Amino acid sequence: MIRALYDWTMRLAAHPRAMWTMAGVSFAESSFFPIPPDVMLIPMILADRKRAFLIAAVCTLASVLGGMFGYLIGYALYEALAEPILRAYGYVDQFHAFEAKYNEYGSLIVAMGALTPFPYKITTVFSGMVSMVFPAFVIASVLGRASRFFLVAGLLYWFGEPIRAFIEKYLGLLTILFFLLLVGGFAAVKVLL
């Protein structure tokens, strides 16, 4: 079943509209969608390594735009949803103390969330909730997302065929590892929050 899904994804990655699909996934993942854009990015680059850096650039741009949307969601949700809950439990002062710390280290937190398997959408929405300085948020998002996607693009561009052979040989194991990292990222969020 995994092999059939892999083959289907590789065919989809070579489709003329694949770039738009990947951009949509990348945008949505940055604000609300649970599946990272790597599921499109990697096969698209493997299908056409000459366009690796263009694909990474589109993925980065769409992801940062989606992150801005996530920021807007967090900003809008704070007054409508989070603030009444914090008031009801008497945590407004503690939240504001945490907010000050988050704003002090927010750029680093956003960059790390954008670069690592930690769900980036959590940092985008939370950054909006605490009203992080927007230009700092955008710069950290661009640096983190570009680092992540261009690193993947570079590795696949320079080592594409051996990596493709490795992926095809160990597809089952890599799929399990990918989902463990994905679940681990969400578990880390639960522990941190």
Place of tokens 């948020």: 137
- Alpha-carbon distance values, 41 to 33, 70, 76, 119, 159 (Å): 16, 21, 31, 17, 15
The boundaries of the domain holding residue 98 are: 2-192
pLDDT at 65: 97
pLDDT at 103: 79
Into how many domains does the chain fold? 1
SS3 assignment, position 123 = helix
Q: What is the pLDDT along the chain (193 residues), one digit of tens a residue?
A: 556 765 666 677 777 888 998 999 899 889 888 777 888 888 889 888 899 999 999 999 999 999 999 999 989 988 887 778 777 878 778 878 878 888 788 888 888 778 776 778 888 888 998 889 999 999 999 999 999 899 889 988 988 777 767 766 765 676 677 667 656 665 665 565 5
d(CA 164, CA 126): 36
